[in-house]
Structure formats: structure tokens, C-alpha cells
Structure 1
Amino acid sequence: MSGQHMFDPEQEAEDQRISTVSTESQGYPALVWRRFRKSVPGMIGLVLVGTLLFVSVFASFFAPMDPKKPYSAFIRPDRISFHDTHRGWRPWPVLYRITETDEFDPITYQPITGPDMENPVPIRLFGKSWNYRLFGLIPTSRHFIAAGDGGEIHILGTDKLGRDIFSRAITGSRISLAIALISISFITTIGTLVGIASGYIGGRFDLWMQRVVEVILAFPQLPLYLALATLIPVTAPSWLFLTFVVLVIAGLGWAQLSREVRSKTMSMRRIDYVRAAMAVGAGDGRIILRHVLPNVLSHVIVSVTLGIPSIVLLESFLGFLGFAVKPPMISWGLMLQDAGTFSVIGSYPWILSPVAFVLLTVFAFNALGDGLRDAVDPY
């Protein structure tokens, strides 16, 4: 038996324990996730994007006040503190409402306001507030946070009509993110299909298709957005404005992605395994679905995550100008209309609070896209 290798189970177990190389094969998604989770900005962006989407889906639950109900105009944001004037420091924050004092401003002669430090209000989790229907079906009045005394809570104050800004910003995330996600879905589908078809088929089809793409890219987008938005009557319903904005953004946004996908597809056609598939008689559909599309998909995913912030910014800008969402719908851009004058910003700076939600969304998707770009790139 000297010429044969004797199997030693203890030695085999010791070798597997010492070895640092994984014996299991990993697919491309597993390798991408392995590299992506090492990116700190990418993981932060993933958590923020997941949180934004979760909050937007359950917006009514996270909105402590009715976003459409008018309260007192231009109420200052309530003070949130972990210090109770009666009990000292607390593990859970309390609320101090802003009230008017007996003093007057010597310049404006308006009553000076300040927090009512003598009457702290506890903030309760899953407390009761305004009534709503969860998913439009389940009637409830439970919310993530609510004032312990059942009264009002204005974390970011109110606007000129007395509507709670924090609740409106959370509710407005539905429209702003919905416009971005639906638009990017159309842009991705059209741009990917046109780009792959143009790069793979080539010839006269590619020649004419690229002329169409160049015409679309030649348009100055912002003036065209404004010109097309004015075609809808002011009295048109809100859903018509919303549909039109999505179609305009998608109609002008797919061209750039198709040009990028086309260049990637043309380089894929010259790879050996694609030529081998052509040589053995594989159909064009099989080659595109099995060989071209998986290699182009990584670039498309990164383009999607980097394109959503641009659409959010565009919707905010168009909403600020009054060319996007119309009341009674709520979006971040529509909320920024109240901050159109310097006098309002100077006197009521909390009106600019929706800008923070826009910045947070843009940062989250940009960080996620940057982490994905590093993870899917093998070089």
C-alpha cells in the first residue's frame, strides 16, 4: 500500500480549516455583492435608498399630521429635546411647542415667539393622530410618532396656509420618487432595446437610428420641457400633468443611454464567444439574451442609479416653476414654490426644509450608483 495515498479525514478537515480560499464557486451577482459591501459610501447609499422607499410607501403612517389640513400659518418648528425641565435628561425626546411671549420685536413690532419650556409634551411611538386608510383599505389612526397629549406636532413648522411641512414632505416623496422611478423605467427599457438593436444589427438600421438619437440629443432640454409643459391647460386634472411630465422626461432621456448601450454592444460583437455562437448557428435573439444583454446590464444598472437623482432634481425644478405637479397633489418641487421670494425665506427660513429631502435623495442614489460602478467594473 506504499504506492497509494491513504485518506486521512482528520488531515482533510485540518486542511480545510487552514485554507483561506473558498472552494465554492460564486456567480457574478455574488462577486458584485462581495465587492459592493466593502464600499462604505455605497452601503450608506443603499440603506438611505431603502429607507426612502420604505417611508414613501408608508407615507401616511410616518406623517404625524394631516398633510392637507390647514393649521395656523407659519408656525415655527417645535423644539425637540432630550431634556425635560421637570425630570431632567430623558432617554426619549420631548416636545416643546412654540408660543408667543409678552415681548415685541422693536423693528417689526411682531410678538416674539419661543418654546414653552414649562409644558413639555412627550413624543410617543405608534400614537394616535389623524385618521387615514393604510393602502387605501385599512382605516387607522396609528402613526410612527405622535404628540403624547393628542395635540399638534410640527417638526418642521407650517407653510403660509398652515399645512404641516414635515408631513407634506414625507407625503410628497411618493410623487417625486414615483415620477423618477417610472421615468427611469421607460428610459431604461427604450434606451436598452434601441441601443442593443442598433449596435447588434448595424448597417443602414444603425445609421438611421443614430440620426434620430442625434436629433433628440440636439434639443435644448430645459426650454423644451417648459414649452411642452405649457401645452396642457391649467384646468387639466392632476393625473394628466403627472403623465405628461413622465412622458416628456422619458421621451428626451432615452437617447443618451441608447448611445452608451450601442457602444458597449458593438464591442461585444467582436468577442470570441459571441462569434462562436454566431458560427454554430445560434439565433440573434439567443445571442442577445444570453451573451450581449448580461454584459450590458451592469452598465445599465449603474446608469439607472445615477439617472434617478437627475430626474428628482428636474422634477423639483419644474415643480418650483409650476410646470409639473398641480395641487392637490404634493411633491417637493411644488412645496418649494412657497420659498419664491427672499422676504419669505428671511422671515420663515423653515420653508426651505424640502430642499433637505431633495439633497438627501440625490446623495443616496449617487452614493449607491458610485458603489455599484466600482463593484460591477472588473478593472
Structure 2
Amino acid sequence: MTAEALTEDTAPPEIKRSQESQAALMWRRFRQHRLAVWSLWIVGLFYFIALFAEFLAPFEPSAYNPRYTYAAPQGIHFTDRDEEGNWTFRPFVYGYKSEIDPAALRRTFVVDRDVKHPINFFVEAEPYRLLGIIPMDVKLFGTTERRAPLYILGADRLGRDLLSRLIHGTRISLSIGLIGVVLSLVFGVIIGGFSGYYGGWFDSVVQRVIEFIRSLPTIPLWLGLAAALPRDWSSLQTYFAITVILSLVGWTELARVVRGRFLALRTEDFVTAARLDGASDWRVITRHMVPNFMSHIIAAATLAIPGMILAETALSFLGLGLQAPIVSWGTLLQEAQNIRTLASAPWLLLPGVAVVVAILALNFLGDGLRDAADPYGR
């Protein structure tokens, strides 16, 4: 047996581990964090829903039916009897019938077991564009009758399907967090990197600016900046403005992390060797220093996404962020600002559940990435 074969077959686990690439070490360490792995699947599911929202949602977010205002959620039944009395797999929902509550003197919806609305897959729908580009006229599921009620998560005050609006809101809320973190990442890495690499008066100025921004109360600052937006702006302009505002406020923490890493790395031997070899400052930063802590940047960015989502949700909930007709989790929670919602339509609070699940999943995912960023820690 050769020495090379002997090394590969009989080498202790510690030696094999030291021969793995950084990416392989990170992945092996990440898989040991079971909660982070499950969170990765949940986050992936959320972004899959956001990507194909038009196809997955049974209705358009603005489609309404005044006959079913505040309609209660319908339960899906997966088996039914055919004409011969045999059990078959045939998903359906029961219809509604309205009654007048004698105590509250308001209309309520109860299940009408005499009416069944079959649920089919890949049903024909009104023409739309997937991702605003691909023309389509098929939905993943729906009823054969266009006007038949299908409110799996209930309806709002205008008879709009909450499930469809929640699916479309997923795209806005998650994309504003992702875009905001990307912008914060650019600001934080560039400003924090140059601050730690060059030091001196530039570092002092940057740190004073960061300290000033971090000393401001976060919520009042967001409210003030969002309230300063012109009211005649379009929904798209407001969307990008909110994203930029969140990025301008959220880059400071990442800049501090990057600055600390640059201060630690700029005196390392490989950085000194690159300088002596004639490499420019930009090459030293981008090719030698940044790759050495890219895993830490990824972990920090993942942990920053929940803060962006919470900020957008809070601003939209208070009426100072995104406004209709844009649908986000924050704008959906505006429907839950009255007593009637808490008393008779609690399903309108479901967007808050989506916010909690997404935030927890992203936090656990970021925690797993942060642990995996130091693969030699164990």
C-alpha cells in the first residue's frame, strides 16, 4: 500500500477534516445544527412561494366578492363518495349560507353541507404574467366555477381571499428584506472595509458617523423618514424608497463587524506578502482579505434580514410604510386594527403568524451559519 493510499484510508478524522475545503467544513458543521437545517427548508419554502406567487395563489390579490365579506375559513375535505357510494379522492369545500346573528344583529356565514365546490389542480384562470414576464392562464388549484367561494384562510372586509393576499404579500415582505440586506451589505463592506484597512482620520470619521446613527431611536427614525416620503408617489416608488431607508439605517452594525475583521487581517503575513508582491490595495482587499471572512458576512447578512422584515411590517402596520394596492404582511395586518377583527374575524391575524415563523426561521438559519462559519471550532 502506497503512502498516499495509507494516508487516505487510515488517516485520523482530525487529519481528514483539516484536508477539507472551507465550504465542505462549513456544510458539515451546518448539518449538525438540526434546527438550522429545518429553518433552511422553511426559508426556502417561503422564497419559493414568493417566486411563484401568481401561480400558487388561487385568486388575484385585488379580486373581491362583496357577498362573502368576513367569510370564515373553509375546511378542505379530501375524500368524498361518488354516485355509486364508493369513497374517492376528490378534494372539495362546502359552500356558505348566511344567517343573521340575533344577538349582534349582523350577518354570519355557516357551512352549507348541501353545496359542494370541487377543488381541481391546474385550473384555467384569468390571463396573468408570472414574475411579470411569462404569460400564463393556469393556477395551481381552484374551483371550476370562477365565482365559487374558496376561502381556505377566510376573507377580509371586502371579500378578498386572505390566502391569495398572504401569498402575494410574501413576495413583497421577503424581497424588501433581501434587497435591503444586499444594499446594507454593499454599504457595510465598502465603508467598514476601507475604515479598517486605512484607519487614521477616515476611520475616526466613519466611527463617529456610525455612533451617531446607532444612538438615534430606531422606530422614531424609521417613522420620520417614512413620513417624509411624498404622498403622490406611486406604490413602486414607495417600495424602493422604504427599501433604501431601511438600508441606510441598517448598514452600521455590519460595517463594525467588517472593520474589526480588517483590523485583524491587515497585519497578517499573507496580506503583507501580497503588498510586497506589488498587489494594489483593491486587489488585497477583494482577493485576499474579504474571502477570509466571507462566511461571517453571509451569517451577519442572514441575521439582518429579519430586522428588515420587521421594520417594513411595523411601518406598514402603522400606515407610514407601504400602502395599498401593494400587498405585504404589514399592509395585511392593517386589517387587524379594530375590535371586530379580534372578536369575529381572528383569521385576519394570520399574516402575523407568517411574520413570526419567517423571523424565527431566518434567525435560526443565521445562528447555524454563524456557528458553521468557524468550522475548526469543534
Q: Taking structure 2 as the reference length, what is the TM-score of the superposition?
A: 0.88
Q: Hey, what's the Cα distance between the residues in 2 that align with 1:27 and 1:15?
A: 17
- Cα deviation for residue 158 of structure 1 reads 1.1
Match for 2:149: what amino acid?
E
1:117 aligns with 113
- Cα deviation for residue 168 of structure 1 reads 0.7
2:98 aligns with 100
Match of 2:256 among 246, 255, 259: 259
CA RMSD of aligned residues (A): 2.8
1:3 aligns with none
* 1:323-338 equivalences in 2 (<5 Å): 323-338=320-335
2:24 aligns with 30
Match of 1:43 among 37, 47, 52: 37
Cα distance change of structure 1 residues 14 and 119 upon mapping to structure 2, 3 Å threshold = farther
2:351 aligns with 354
Cα distance change of structure 1 residues 97 and 271 upon mapping to structure 2, 3 Å threshold = farther
* 1:1-379 equivalences in 2 (<5 Å): 25-72=19-66, 73-84=69-80, 91=89, 93-100=91-98, 104-110=100-106, 113-150=109-146, 151-377=148-374, 378-379=376-377
Q: Hey, what's the Cα distance between the residues in 2 that align with 1:201 and 1:19?
A: 44
Q: Hey, what's the Cα distance between the residues in 2 that align with 1:227 and 1:16?
A: 62
Q: Hey, what's the Cα distance between the residues in 2 that align with 1:92 and 1:30?
A: 46
Gaps of 5+ in 1: 1-6
Q: Hey, what's the Cα distance between the residues in 1 that align with 2:208 and 2:7?
A: 62
Which secondary structure does the structure 1 equivalent of 2:181 belong to?
helix
- Cα deviation for residue 300 of structure 1 reads 1.0
| Residues 65, 153 of structure 1: 8 Å contact kept | no
- Render the CA deviation track for 1:183-231: whole Å, top value 9, x for unaligned: 1111001101111111111112111221111111121121111112222
Which secondary structure does the structure 2 equivalent of 1:330 belong to?
coil
- Render the CA deviation track for 1:35-78: whole Å, top value 9, x for unaligned: 22232222212212222112111111001012111113111111
- Cα deviation for residue 17 of structure 1 reads 7.3
1:4 aligns with none
| Residues 94, 112 of structure 2: 8 Å contact kept | yes
- Cα deviation for residue 291 of structure 1 reads 2.4
- Cα deviation for residue 286 of structure 1 reads 2.6
Match for 2:94: what amino acid?
Y
Q: Hey, what's the Cα distance between the residues in 2 that align with 1:216 and 1:44?
A: 35
Q: Hey, what's the Cα distance between the residues in 2 that align with 1:232 and 1:134?
A: 30
Match for 1:66: what amino acid?
E
Q: Hey, what's the Cα distance between the residues in 1 that align with 2:259 and 2:238?
A: 32
| Residues 73, 153 of structure 2: 8 Å contact kept | yes
Which secondary structure does the structure 1 equivalent of 2:76 belong to?
strand
Match for 2:55: what amino acid?
F
Shifted more, 88-97 versus 315-324: the winner is 88-97
Aligned length: 369
| Residues 176, 332 of structure 1: 8 Å contact kept | yes
Match for 1:65: what amino acid?
F
Cα distance change of structure 1 residues 198 and 88 upon mapping to structure 2, 3 Å threshold = farther
Shifted more, 29-38 versus 15-24: the winner is 15-24
Q: Hey, what's the Cα distance between the residues in 2 that align with 1:13 and 1:94?
A: 62
- Render the CA deviation track for 1:77-99: whole Å, top value 9, x for unaligned: 11123353776865564322332
Shifted more, 260-269 versus 183-192: the winner is 260-269
Q: Hey, what's the Cα distance between the residues in 2 that align with 1:93 and 1:371?
A: 39
Which secondary structure does the structure 1 equivalent of 2:177 belong to?
helix
Match for 2:53: what amino acid?
A
Gaps of 5+ in 2: none
Q: Hey, what's the Cα distance between the residues in 2 that align with 1:281 and 1:17?
A: 42
Match for 1:36: what amino acid?
F
Q: Hey, what's the Cα distance between the residues in 2 that align with 1:215 and 1:63?
A: 44
Q: Taking structure 1 as the reference length, what is the TM-score of the superposition?
A: 0.88
Match for 2:36: what amino acid?
G
- Cα deviation for residue 111 of structure 1 reads 5.1
Cα distance change of structure 1 residues 349 and 85 upon mapping to structure 2, 3 Å threshold = farther
Q: Which has the larger radius of gyration?
A: 1
Q: Give percent identity, aligned residues only.
A: 37
Match for 2:349: what amino acid?
L
